[in-house]
Amino acid sequence: METYASSSLSQLQINETQTLIPGLPNDIASLILSLIPYSHHARIKPTCKSWHAFLSSTKALFSLRRHPRRSNHLLIIFPQDPSISAPYLFDPQNLAWRPLPHMPCNPNVYGLCNFTSISMGPNLYVLGGSLFDTRSFPMDRPSPTSSVFRFNFVDFLWEELCPMLSPRGSFACAAVPDSGQIIVAGGGSRHAWFGAAGSRISSVERYDVGKGEWVAIEGLPRYRAGCVGFLSGDGEEREFWVMGGYGESRTISGIFPVDEYYKDAVVMDLKKSGCGKWREVGDMWSDAGRGRLGKIVVVEGDEGRPAVFMLDENEIFRYDMASNCWQRESIVPRKAPRNSSCGFAVLDGELHVMTFLRGDDLVKTRRSRQQKRGGTLFIQIYHPKKKTWRSLVTRPPFYHLLDFKTAIMCTIRL
């Protein structure tokens, strides 16, 4: 371990007369500093020149932190359009927040929403979405975008990548880290400002991170938007699941559009040489069951077999692939306030149910600048193996309400 630390430290440009921690060799001190949570790096950089040089040399630092026990599983929240509202990095273990730079802005478009965010290694990807384009007519009609952006935590910079072949928002997406690929499926043009409208597509694409290009693969059996995607299995047994979503729509009294939500899933076999065929999985609930799929998270399991969980109002369900049905797992201890939304994410194998509490929901105290922020984030955490709940409270750095119905979230290990 000392040899590996020394080789990583040799990449740093630190003066030999400068020491990281007095009384300790720099290779040992570098291991100690690498254990500091990533969310605190910006605070401790100004401590001294040697610490600033070490924490700024992100390539060597990430090489020291690539072991799972040294890295932190962090949550990234996009409150609104990332080109006008900065995304934030949240460390739930240390209750620390760190803002990220704004995504590059295009002066001709605005109101980006329903995009997908996914991480792979030290990179964060923002794909597609729905927005308004001032160059289109009519200007008040949203349209999907094919834009793809990547944020590199090593250089701490955004860059624009090759766009998708088909513009899309509200689509299924999954990353295949060992092959450096991203798969997207379905989607449409629906915008968060409109309840039931927009187009639907069935096209599927695969992005090769190394080559920087998109390739079209076999499309979905039917048009599907608002769906969820995840991987199951590994090696030759790996599959890409696309679950839920909506397809055709009907109208009530010939005026009000209503979505027809899917109750099934479709699965594609992923081969080493490419992608296989789609197979359809039957309905996961009967007509008397729920009307639509709730919020989905996936917990990585042994041998690539994930545990799939759904948050439906105040209940958590687990998906049983063998019987193709949802089984009740647990009930959230504290129900969310009326007319509020909940966030659902998985960090370090635990399910996080997040509720944004406004000032009216908290004990009223003397108002200060900090208390004038949007409110408090109340997080209830469920451990699937231990079947236990715990909770924590943090005050996010937002000066506006956080609406989990439109906010986009993803996780990353740094």
Residue 1 has pLDDT above 50, yes or no: no
User: Coil, strand, or helix at residue 133?
Assistant: strand
pLDDT given for residue 71 in this prediction: 75
Is the separation of the CB atoms in 251 and 258 below 8 Å?
A: yes
pLDDT given for residue 398 in this prediction: 83
Tokens of 371: 């208390």
170 within a domain of the structure (yes/no): yes
Express each pLDDT in 219-272 by its tens digit.
999 999 999 999 998 877 889 999 999 987 777 666 677 788 899 999 999 875
Is the separation of the CB atoms in 137 and 122 below 8 Å?
A: no
31 and 122 assigned to the same domain: no
* Number of domains making up the chain: 2
Structure confidence at residue 366 as a pLDDT band (50, 70, 90): very low
pLDDT given for residue 7 in this prediction: 47
Percent of the chain at pLDDT > 70 equals: 86
58 and 127 assigned to the same domain: no
158 within a domain of the structure (yes/no): yes
121 and 32 assigned to the same domain: no
285 within a domain of the structure (yes/no): yes
pLDDT given for residue 333 in this prediction: 95
CB count in 10 Å sphere of residue 410? 20
CA distance 113 to 218: 26
Is pTM, for the whole model, over 0.95?
no
CA distance 365 to 80: 29
358 vs 334, residue with greater confidence: 334
Which residue in 180, 267, 192 sits closest to 232, CA to CA? 267
How much of the chain is in helix, strand and coil states, percent to nearest 5? 15, 40, 45
204 and 136 assigned to the same domain: yes
Residue 322 neighbours by CB under 8 Å, 6+ apart: none
120 and 59 assigned to the same domain: no
Structure confidence at residue 289 as a pLDDT band (50, 70, 90): low
54 and 133 assigned to the same domain: no
Tokens 């995840």 sit on residue: 230
Range of the domain at 185: 103-292
Is the separation of the CB atoms in 354 and 332 below 8 Å?
A: no
Picking from 276, 292, 308, the residue at the C-terminal end of a domain is 292
Picking from 292, 317, 335, the residue at the C-terminal end of a domain is 292
192 and 61 assigned to the same domain: no
Beta strands in 13-129 (DSSP E): 73-78, 88-91, 96-99, 109-113, 116-120, 123-127
108 and 54 assigned to the same domain: no
Residue 372 has pLDDT above 60, yes or no: no
Which residue in 98, 151, 42 sits closest to 396, CA to CA? 98
308 within a domain of the structure (yes/no): no
For residue 6, give the DSSP letter: H
227 within a domain of the structure (yes/no): yes
Structure confidence at residue 365 as a pLDDT band (50, 70, 90): very low
Return mean pLDDT, the chain.
85
168 and 214 assigned to the same domain: yes
pLDDT given for residue 2 in this prediction: 43
Is the separation of the CB atoms in 25 and 39 below 8 Å?
A: no
- Max CA pair span of the chain: 80
242 within a domain of the structure (yes/no): yes
109 and 217 assigned to the same domain: yes
Tokens of 31: 């291991």
41 and 123 assigned to the same domain: no
Express each pLDDT in 175-229 by its tens digit.
998 889 999 999 999 988 877 778 899 999 999 999 999 999 999 999 999 999 9
CA distance 239 to 308: 14
Which residue in 366, 344, 353, 362 sits closest to 392, CA to CA? 353
